[in-house]
Amino acid sequence: MTAMSVLPVAVSAAPRVDDPANSTASSVVTREMMKRPVPEQFKRRLVRLSTNEAPGTIIVDTNNKFLYLVEGNNKAIRYGIGVGREGFGWSGIVKIGRKEEWPSWRPPAEMRSREARRGHMLPEVQKGGPDNPLGARAMYLYKGNQDTIFRIHGTNQPWSIGLNLSSGCIRMNNKDVEDLYQHTAVGAKVIVVGPGNKQGDISFDDRGVDILRTIFGG
């Protein structure tokens, strides 16, 4: 586990799940949420970061909804992110196994079956483009040679940044994920600090990008 501290510490708290205006406890998306601007604290910026991790390492703080790209000399680029809803959070040390521009989305079989039971029929593959839920770029997270099914990716729903809405993937604004993509190499170390700042083995359950409630209105 990396030792990490960020300065300054005067950062606004991420939206609370018990705040009715930002509630994601049930993953129900309202029209008001879809009008929500990205809060100022989740906009990209250069910050001071004390860590012993090498430049190029990515550190994901799921509690506070931040992703850090370590630059060295006690500096990092900080991005706002959206993360997994309750029950879909995870932690661990992985790596970027591959990268893709305007990626296709392949809903996992478990997700297709689950949504079929709800009357939502998903395609096996949705080609990349502005309407694709993976957004402009995707970085696929691997544990060794195994695809974890989790990704760092863009989104066609920028209002979701700072919220807990995914099935474990890490979503970013398209401009931010494009910036991260061009500064990140395949093989880069990714440290995900999960709920409660605990770290453990990641789950290999069949999970993907859960955007169905936003597509179908809850």
- Residue 169 known to be catalytic: yes
d(CA 147, CA 16): 31
Task: List CB contacts of 201: < 8 A, sequence separation 6 or more.
Answer: 92
Residue 108 class from Cβ within 10 Å (0-12 exposed, 13-18 middle, 19+ buried)? middle
Distance of CA 60 to the CA centre of its chain: 8
d(CA 112, CA 90): 22
Decide if 99 contacts 185 (C-beta within 8 A). Answer: no
Decide if 162 contacts 186 (C-beta within 8 A). Answer: no
| Residue tagged active-site, from 83, 169, 193, 211 | 169
| Residue tagged active-site, from 153, 159, 180, 194 | 153
Decide if 23 contacts 17 (C-beta within 8 A). Answer: yes
3-state helix, strand, coil in the chain (%, to 5): 15, 30, 55
d(CA 93, CA 25): 26
SS3 111: helix
**Which residues are designated catalytic?**
153, 169
